[in-house]
Amino acid sequence: MAFNPTMNRVEKESRSGQPRYGQYADFDAAPQYGQATYGQQQYAQAPYGQQYAGMEQAYAAPAVDQGRTGRVSLDDVFVKTAVLFGIVLAAAAGTWVVVGAQTQLAMVVWLAGMFGSLLLSFVIGFMKTVNVPLILLHAVLQGAFIGAVSATYESLQDGIVATAVVATVGTFAAMLLGWKVGLVKVSSRAMRIFGLIALGYLVFQLVNLGFAFFAGASIYSTGLGWIVALVGVALAAYSLAIDFETVQRSVASGMPQKYSWLLAHGLIASLVWLYIEILRLLYVLRSND
């Protein structure tokens, strides 16, 4: 998914606050609960102007006080992410077994999963409430999507899926480490610029898909294919850094606990996007050999 409105929603709601949940701090302000700080490592310069600790420091922080009850925590996000990840894997494995080498069936599931999850991601991102059933359904659709895609690519190039999985895990770990030590910076301005670029990339992908189906032509079959695919990998990887930052700041600002589902949803969406982009890049590179 090239555009993730979920994290944008979380950021905006954290900035504005919602009286029904209490006026939790926004991302530009220091945490309002208790007096403890989160360490001295600064992840972004102005306009944030505040310092937030890494995930490890947050886990090592003292037990929360009564005022933190009902607020999102890293444990909440981790558990929800694990649940959604398990659903995606199960749906992907089931889809792969069902479609097998049936190219036409795989394509139907591919398109249904892709457009279904894309549409649902916008619904989830712009809803005024956190709808857990829709988030779970989105995970199922994404699993069906990557299951059909993986089965198709594996039928064309043996071993490409395993390579893509390893590369995805490695990229995820590298982005987490780079973000944590401050090599990968995330700011409000960077988020806004990224959102525009990602939306443009989504439009480009839809147009390219249309040409591929109706004209039999695709940018990935040209000499520029690997460059475009590499750009897609870079965008998906940076999307993870934005997700890490958003999770951390959501915890620091004391957002309602139910937002852990939205944060987990955003992380899984970015991870699936990264896998798809890496799979595409590998296919293009191998096809050019």
SS (HEC) of 193-257: HHHHHHHHHHHHHHHHHHHHHHCCCCHHHCCCHHHHHHHHHHHHHHHHHHHHHHHHHHHHCCCEC
Residue 173 neighbours by CB distance under 10 Å = 10
Which pLDDT does position 207 carry in this prediction? 92
Q: Is residue 16 part of a domain?
A: no
User: What pTM value is reported for the model?
Assistant: 0.77
- Residue 267 and residue 261: Cα distance in Å, rounded? 10
pLDDT over threshold 70, residue 13: no
Q: Is residue 240 part of a domain?
A: yes
Where residue 68 falls among pLDDT bands split at 50, 70, 90? low
What is the SS3 assignment for 33?
coil
Where residue 28 falls among pLDDT bands split at 50, 70, 90? very low
Domain interval for residue 191: 5-11+69-287
Q: Is residue 44 part of a domain?
A: no
Q: Is residue 83 part of a domain?
A: yes
Token pair for residue 104? 């036409």
Q: Is residue 88 part of a domain?
A: yes
At 129-143, the pLDDT tens digits run 999 999 999 999 999
User: How far, in Å, are 46, 50, 135, 272 from residue 85 at the CA level?
Assistant: 34, 32, 12, 10
At 182-199, the pLDDT tens digits run 999 999 899 999 999 999
- The better pLDDT of the pair 119, 36 is held by 119
For residue 22, the cross-strand partners are 18
Q: Is residue 59 part of a domain?
A: no
Q: Is residue 187 part of a domain?
A: yes
At 251-286, the pLDDT tens digits run 999 999 999 999 999 999 999 999 999 999 999 999
The four Cα atoms 9, 11, 15, 18 give a dihedral, to 10 degrees, of 40
Q: Is residue 100 part of a domain?
A: yes
Overall domain count for the chain? 1
Among 41-55, 114-128, 244-258, name the one with the lowest average pLDDT: 41-55
Highest mean predicted confidence (pLDDT) among 8-22, 161-175, 219-233: 161-175
